[in-house]
């Protein structure tokens, strides 16, 4: 049964890719409890999550619940309906071996799409996908991702857990600050005596999530005030104008109390705003950055080496490659990452 669930997830991610979405498996929905002691609970998940930035940097998100059983379609639909609303998904899929008509009708009224395994396979064939071959390839990617993260967790549990768990449960602006902070703690030169394939893979993955976060923030800033993008971006970088003003007041009060003169803005802020400002002027090229990074780490890592196929880059505008290199250069400087981590891509 579990193997069949797994195949459904793989097929769903293949569908997402054909539709132009970047995708991630098994996003955990976490809640926090303060009764007696502080605890974090994993209460549910999204089996396959996908996102796609439009040419104007607006974002579309989708998610799927994949179950192989032939019963309980209504229960599973209502459960995932709540999850999809919590995550503000724009579209959701329920994929099962068998789905009754009443579940399909209610799902359709809630922007859900119900597909059986046979229907999903039929759709993929219609998209000119060699399903069995693609399943083998996608399963190899999944096993590689699982293996790398399990290995890296032994080396740096904090970063591995943040990227695979906490990231999907934090506000977008917090993720920017947190990723930069954790990466700087995790990649100090003394810890990087030798840059391994494992290090590269995890940091490419982290770069995709970081680019996802800064583009979401850029999208918010465009809506807020495209004419004064830089100021709007700074507001969004702290959770909004009101939150920014409150943080500045607290910072000033601390400086007065301690008789210090610490800067409010982190050292990396102006460089990040500059990169995002340039991306806001070429939104189509910028929108493809996370997709390019995901394609690189999924298809460029082998048993003993990393090799980027030039054919990957040919799918994307030159400006997308340049923006990606700018982000990598920014992370390298802001977090003191060994330059060998991104050299394979920077030299292209």
Q: Where are the domains of the chain?
A: 2-129, 144-346
* Pair of tokens at residue 256: 């007065």
Phi, psi angle pair for 43, to nearest 5°: -100, -25
Residues 6+ apart with CB under 8 A from 200: 301, 306, 341, 344
Residue ranges of E strands in the chain = 22-33, 39-53, 59-67, 91-96, 112-116
What is residue 154's predicted lDDT score, i.e. its pLDDT? 92
In angstroms, what CA-CA distances link 171 with 3, 157, 240? 33, 21, 12
Nearest to 212 by CA among 18, 51, 325: 51
Please give the Cα distance from 221 to 237 (Å, whole number). 9
Stretches where the chain sits below pLDDT 50 are 1, 191-192
Architecture, CATH, for domain 2-129: 3-Layer(aba) Sandwich (3.40)
258 CB-side CA count, 13 A: 9
CB–CB of 148/201 below 8 Å?
A: yes
Nearest to 293 by CA among 206, 189, 219: 206
* Pair of tokens at residue 123: 């759709």
Please give the Cα distance from 228 to 247 (Å, whole number). 21
* Pair of tokens at residue 230: 């830089």
pTM of the model: 0.92
Check residue 327 and report its DSSP letter. H
pLDDT digits (tens, 9 = 90+) for 224-240: 999 999 999 999 999 99
User: Which is it for strands 59-67 and 39-53: parallel, antiparallel or unpaired?
Assistant: antiparallel
Check residue 301 and report its DSSP letter. B
């Amino acid at each position: 049964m579990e193997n069949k669930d797994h195949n459904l997830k793989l097929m769903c991610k293949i569908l997402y890719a054909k539709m132009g979405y970047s995708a991630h498996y098994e996003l955990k929905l976490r809640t926090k409890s303060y009764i007696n002691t502080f605890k974090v609970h994993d209460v549910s998940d999204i089996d396959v999550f996908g996102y796609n930035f439009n040419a104007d940097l607006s974002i579309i998100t989708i998610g799927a619940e994949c179950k192989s059983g032939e019963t309980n379609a209504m229960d599973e639909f209502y459960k995932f309906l709540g999850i999809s609303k919590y995550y503000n998904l724009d579209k959701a899929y329920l994929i099962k071996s068998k789905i009754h008509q009443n579940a399909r009708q209610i799902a359709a009224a809630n922007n859900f799409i119900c597909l059986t395994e046979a229907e999903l396979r039929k759709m993929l064939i219609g998209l000119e996908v060699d399903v069995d071959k693609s399943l083998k390839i996608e399963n190899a990617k999944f096993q590689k991702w699982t293996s790398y993260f399990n290995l890296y967790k032994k080396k740096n549990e904090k970063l591995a857990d943040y990227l695979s768990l906490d990231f999907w449960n934090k506000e977008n602006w917090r993720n920017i600050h947190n990723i930069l902070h954790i990466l700087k703690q995790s990649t100090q030169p003394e810890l990087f005596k030798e840059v391994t394939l494992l290090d590269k893979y995890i940091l490419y993955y982290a770069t995709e999530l970081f680019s996802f976060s800064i583009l979401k923030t850029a999208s918010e800033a465009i809506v807020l005030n495209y004419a004064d993008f830089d100021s709007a971006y700074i507001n969004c970088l702290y959770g909004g104008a009101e939150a920014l003003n409150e943080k500045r007041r607290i910072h000033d009060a601390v400086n007065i109390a301690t008789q210090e003169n610490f800067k409010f803005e982190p050292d990396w802020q102006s460089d990040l705003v500059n990169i995002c400002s340039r991306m806001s002027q070429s939104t189509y090229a910028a929108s493809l950055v996370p997709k390019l990074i995901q394609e690189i780490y999924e298809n460029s890592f082998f048993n003993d080496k990393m090799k980027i196929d030039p054919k990957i880059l040919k799918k994307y505008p030159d400006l997308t490659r340049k923006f990606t290199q700018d982000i990598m250069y920014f992370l390298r400087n802001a977090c003191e990452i060994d330059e060998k981590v991104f050299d394979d891509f920077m030299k292209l």
